[in-house]
Amino acid sequence: MASHVVTALKLNLRSAPDSSKNNVVIVLSQGMEVTKVGGSPVPGWIEVTATIVMMTVRGFISDKHIAPIGGVTFPQSPPVTATGALPRADLGPHANARRNNRGSWAYRIGEAGQPGLPSTHSGGVVAGIAAVIDWLNPGNSAHLRWWPQGNTTYCNVYSHDAALMMGCYLPRVWWTSSAISKILAGQTVPVTYGTTVNEMRANNIFDWLEEYGASFGWLREPSPDALQMAVNPGRVGIICAQRTDMNRPGHIQIVAPEQNGHMAKRVNGVVTQPLQSNAGSRNFTWGQLGTNWWTSSSFREFGFWHAAPG
């Protein structure tokens, strides 16, 4: 039974009682209820569990930003939308958005013959995820939609295409700040390229995952091993890293359940390189990009997320 409520507007749930490390599991919002399960070897921290999108997560939070349930009230805000959440931003499919064609990158793939959602696959969800990746096949050089052109790469496009085809929302375009203000004021806002929505690069998607990911079902894990273990039963994984130099592209890739001989890499039984499907400067359908590529000094932040496919 929940024992405390979050009083801060945003509160990091961490895998360890240390705010100096990149160990954020998920971000809790004001008013969310948590259950104290233990103390902490570090003063000022407690260990709690929280239920997010029907999944229980566990970690440490600062005890300065919680209060016993019933011990605090929050000011009532006027209603903003029917659901109280931002809707998806999506330009829809386009006939020119095909595996073997360059262009129309802001649109969803409009090509015929796409596999169905993983939940509908006769072999189960894990087989359904594999079927989507095999059909997209970013390692095929004929699939020009994601094949690099000089210094231009398309990791953001491929990750969006794969996640969306699996039934998980990862934005290819997202609302502008002015559009968000109008939506939160209760207005109906059309999806208009360059006016109400802009394209999302990997650097932008990292910020989106931190701010909005949980609202769209994305849960954060503290390590590659935890991510692979969460993904293996049949979830879609993401590794995303934001560049130190924001004028240069970040990187994002799909992490898939292990199956059919496609495996993560382990050291002493612990996953160090999850099973990846990648578009970027090097494209491959199944494999690994490199040992802990996300820890490179080229990136200032990184994270591991997963969501349930449709």
Predicted confidence (pLDDT) per residue in 238-283, tens digit = 999 999 998 899 999 999 999 999 999 999 999 999 999 999 999 9
pLDDT at 81 over 70: no
pLDDT at 301 over 80: yes
Show the DSSP H helices in 88-235 as ranges. Answer: 125-136, 155-165, 177-184, 202-212, 224-231
What average pLDDT score do residues 140-165 get? 97
Q: Is the dihedral of CA 136, 252, 121, 169 positive or negative?
A: negative
The crossing angle, in degrees rounded to 10, of helices 155-165 and 125-136 is 140
Question: Would the pTM count as exceeding 0.85?
Answer: no
Cβ-in-10-Å burial (0-12, 13-18, 19+) of 129 comes to: buried
**Residue type (1 letter), 292:** N
* CA dist., res. 298 & res. 307, Å (int): 27
* CA dist., res. 154 & res. 262, Å (int): 23
Q: Are 227 and 131 in contact (CB under 8 A)?
A: no
* CA dist., res. 249 & res. 255, Å (int): 20
The whole-number pLDDT of residue 33 equals 86
pLDDT at 80 over 60: no
DSSP 308: -
List of residues 6+ apart from 77 with CB closer than 8 A: none
Q: Are 252 and 305 in contact (CB under 8 A)?
A: no
* CA dist., res. 239 & res. 224, Å (int): 9
Q: Are 100 and 143 in contact (CB under 8 A)?
A: yes
Q: Is 293 helix (H, G, I), strand (E, B) or coil?
A: helix
DSSP 214: G
The better pLDDT of the pair 211, 51 is held by 211
Instruction: Provide the token pair at 15.
Output: 């895998």
* CA dist., res. 36 & res. 18, Å (int): 17
Decide which of 3.40.640.10, 3.40.30.10, 3.40.50.800, 2.30.30.40 is the CATH code for 4-68. 2.30.30.40
Per residue in 263-287, is it b (16+ CB within 10 Å) or e — as a string? bbeeeeeebbbbbbbbbbeebbbbe
User: What is the overall mean pLDDT for the chain?
Assistant: 90
pLDDT at 72 over 80: no
Q: Are 175 and 188 in contact (CB under 8 A)?
A: no
Nearest to 200 by CA among 142, 168, 161: 161
Q: Are 164 and 287 in contact (CB under 8 A)?
A: no
pLDDT tens sequence across 88-108? 999 999 999 999 999 999 999
Q: Are 303 and 209 in contact (CB under 8 A)?
A: yes
The whole-number pLDDT of residue 52 equals 66
The better pLDDT of the pair 82, 24 is held by 24
Instruction: Provide the token pair at 45.
Output: 């921290």
